[in-house]
Amino acid sequence: MSLRHAAPEDAPFLLELYASFRSDELAAVPWSPEQKKDFLEQQFIAQHRHYRSVYPEADYLVVEIGDKPVGRLYLNADKERWLIVDIGFLPEWRRQGKGTALLTAIQREAETSEACVLTLHVEQRNFRAQALYQRLGFRGINDVGSHIKMEWSPGDFDGAKRR
């Protein structure tokens, strides 16, 4: 697994990935496939613009296995606080330990840097992701509506629990 900075030519892949994140949500919506496609494109563009405006210094990375893009990691790494803006994989690459490996690598990097806190937000209804984050030592610190803010500090977690 490797990371590289996202480039303009990654837009179709990133849109496909974004659409995969929203597929369950849109399955119940009585729109035509074309309406769903248009909606997803608009939402993807809006999210991308939002992330770029709020986190202009973040690293927008594509996760690859071999030379195949399989996911994304958007990481805003300030000196003392790192924010995982977004992380996710295509459906066929989920539940294979890739997210665990990537998050563990980020934690290890945070331990060796000046970062003292690693934060992320997870959807209230995404229990699978919440369980992963908790297993890796993240703890919920507040409820921000549709999401839970979670954080991890190197001293909060016994490294012996890591795989």
Annotate 94-142 with DSSP letters as a single string: TTSSHHHHHHHHHHHHHHHSS--EEEEEEETT-HHHHHHHHHTT-EEEE
Domains of the chain plus CATH, in order, are 2-161 (3.40.630.30)
pTM of the predicted model as reported, rounded to 2 decimal places: 0.88
pLDDT digits (tens, 9 = 90+) for 53-105: 999 999 999 999 999 999 999 999 987 789 999 999 999 999 999 999 999 99
Give residue for tokens 């690459």. Answer: 93
Contact 115, 147 (CB under 8 A): no
Tokens of 109: 């990097």
Give the long-range contacts of residues 16-19, CB within 8 A, separation 24 or more: 16/90, 17/71, 17/72, 17/88, 17/89, 17/90, 18/43, 18/44, 18/47, 19/44
Q: Which of 158, 89, 77 is nearest to 116 (CA)?
A: 77
pLDDT digits (tens, 9 = 90+) for 7-63: 999 999 999 999 999 988 898 899 999 999 999 999 999 999 999 999 999 999 999
Task: Provide the pLDDT for residue 13.
Answer: 98
Task: Provide the pLDDT for residue 156.
Answer: 63
Instruction: For residues 38 and 133, give the distance between their C-alpha atoms in angstroms, rounded to a whole number.
Output: 32
Comparing 162 with 141, which gets the higher pLDDT? 141
pLDDT digits (tens, 9 = 90+) for 127-157: 899 999 999 999 999 887 899 999 999 876 5
Q: If residue 7 lies in a helix (H) or strand (E), which one and from where to where?
A: none
Which residues partner with 63 through β-bridges?
Answer: 3, 71
Task: List CB contacts of 163: < 8 A, sequence separation 6 or more.
Answer: 100, 104
